[in-house]
Structure 1
Amino acid sequence: MRSDITRRAALALALGLLALPAHAQEAGTKPLRIGIIGAGKIGGTIGTLWVRAGHEVMFSSRHPEELKGLVEGLGARARAGTPAEAIRFGDAVFVAVPYKAYPQLGADHGEALRGKIVLDAGNATQARDGDLHAEVAANGIGATSAKFLAGARLVRAFNAANYRIFEANANRPAPRMAVPIAADDAAALELGGRLVADAGFDPVPVGMLKDADRFAMGSAGFGHNLSAPDLRAKLGLAP
């Protein structure tokens, strides 16, 4: 009980830090190494934004040679590798694969992901993911991701809109587009918020992983292009 209270207190502190203006959050921070599992539309879009923000990014695929055009176009801070190499490379990892791949991802790389801060952008759809969609509906997206990526320090992020919306609105003039995030780990939440800000958006902490259902696909909090105050109001969060 005491450890849970301590964890919640630390999370509350992280929520407070993320309420600071982006320039206050980013002061004194250093570039990170980020490994991306899944270099498709969402992985490629957000990874490109991180490279442009000054981070080193390894995009990964089972066939990394197919990523040559992407990484060459982004310059020296971008590289390609396998998923295993991307996990080893990253101070943080971004998972951007179809949700049906999560069981195999956990089986193949779960041990390597244990203890890593992992931004989880996955969404489950009935047509594509079948029984996994039913499991998410029953248990919640945060709990289901935590089951398959057991031991990873998960942050739900970049799942609440289509990649085209992120691409079109990154680094827009104020008010910036808000991105909801949720995590059980305070340090993971803080780093996830920084990476959302570095990609050109305002992070809006929603709560713990169980609260990620509030902005999961199909929920009332999904699919919005709003400022941070408007998204907080939409989700019923304190201003």
Structure 2
Amino acid sequence: MIVSAMMAVVIGLLPLTASAVETEKPLKIGIIGAGLIGGSVGVLWAKAGHEVFFSSRHPEELGDLLKQAGPSAKVGTPAEAALFGDVVFVAVPYHAMPKVGKDLLPLLNDKIVIDCGNPYPSRDGEMAVEALKKGTGIASAEFFPGVRLVRAYNSISYKSITTQAHREGQLMAIPMAGDDQKAVDVTMALIKDSGFDPVFVGPLSRAREFDNRSAMYGRQGTAQELKDGFGL
């Protein structure tokens, strides 16, 4: 119930309207982990016209989130969300990534998977240390073989998501990385739909440049400012 109450506060800060959908057609999006990031981004996608399926280990606690997202949204289990989504957004603590990959991989084969997780050694233990050594883009891909993986939304706080989406003037930018062109194109469009500017940094091997502990992690700015920071 604490999660539900927190999300009610967070979602109340989100814009009530969104700009026109940037993607060619509404997408079915499964959200694995409907916490502060997953819930906030998912509501923005729902308000942009996409069909969103929120999931958690306790879907019965997501009633407030469902109300905020609107009539097209659904809630259920992670397996149901993975099966539902043409695109799947994974927003879980990083130590849960191996289990999520193992449990859901048969449902995710060849799908676009957007990973926003951050490995924190203080929370996630030794596996986080190893992920940061490899670069999180490479590490996450090992947990999800056979999917079209993109790293995005890991370098922005939920507070910025709730307060800066669709802001006036130049939009706040979100860095992203991926190896699959279709997945990159779809993710760029979804970032625009959520009210931000995408900055494509490069393949998954370059995602380490906006991992936590990196110089660009959490950097706020416009698309040009982030491109300058990444040397693009």
TM-score normalised to the size of structure 2? 0.89
In 2, distance between residues paired with 1:90 and 1:106? 15
Question: What is the letter of the counterpart of residue 172 of structure 2?
Answer: M
Distance 1:26 1:73, change over 3 A: closer
Shift of 1:205: 0.3
What's the secondary structure of 1:84's corresponding residue? helix
Within the alignment, does 1:161 sit opposite 2:156 as a pair? Answer: yes
Is residue 58 from structure 1 mapped to residue 62 from structure 2 by the alignment?
no
Q: Residue 99 of structure 2: SS of its match in structure 1?
A: helix
2-structure distance, mates of 1:52, 1:159? 21
The corresponding residue for 1:184 is: 179
1:17 aligns to what?
none
Per the alignment, residue 22 of structure 2 pairs with 26
Cα contact 1:34–1:55 (8 A) shared by 2: yes
Report deviation, 1:131.
1.1
The 2-side partners of 1:73 and 1:166 are apart by 15
2:63 aligned to 57, 63, 68, which one?
A: 68
Shift of 1:26: 2.8
Identify the range of structure 1 (94-103 vs 71-80) with the bigger mean alpha-carbon deviation. Answer: 71-80
- In structure 2, list runs of 5 or more residues that go unmatched: 1-18
2:195 equivalent in structure 1: 200
Aligned counterparts, 1:136-175, within 5 A: 136-175=131-170
- Residue 63 of structure 1 and its aligned partner are, at CA, apart by 2.1
Partner SS for 2:45: helix
Report the equivalent of 1:109.
Answer: 104
Q: State the SS of the aligned residue for 2:62.
A: helix
Report the 3-state secondary structure (helix = DSSP H, G, I; strand = E; otherwise coil) of the residue aligned with 2:119.
coil
Task: Provide the rounded CA distance (Å) in 1 between the counterparts of 2:218 and 2:171.
Answer: 15
User: Matched residues in 2 for 1:53 and 1:185: separation?
Assistant: 24
2:52 counterpart SS class = strand
Name the counterpart of 2:90: 95
How far does residue 107 in structure 1 lie from its aligned partner after superposition? 1.3
Partner amino acid for 2:130?
A: E
Deviations 1:99-149 (A, max 9, x none): 000011111111211211001000000111111111112211011100111
| Corresponding residue SS for 2:31 | strand
| Aligned-residue CA RMSD (Å) | 1.6
Partner AA of 2:22 in structure 1: E
Q: Aligned to 1:77, what secondary structure does the other structure show? A: coil
Contact map agreement 1:165 1:225 (CA 8 A) in 2: no
SS in 2 for 1:168: helix
Identical columns (%): 50
Alignment TM-score, normalising by the size of structure 1: 0.86
Q: Is 1:35 matched with 2:30?
A: yes
Amino acid paired to 1:181: M
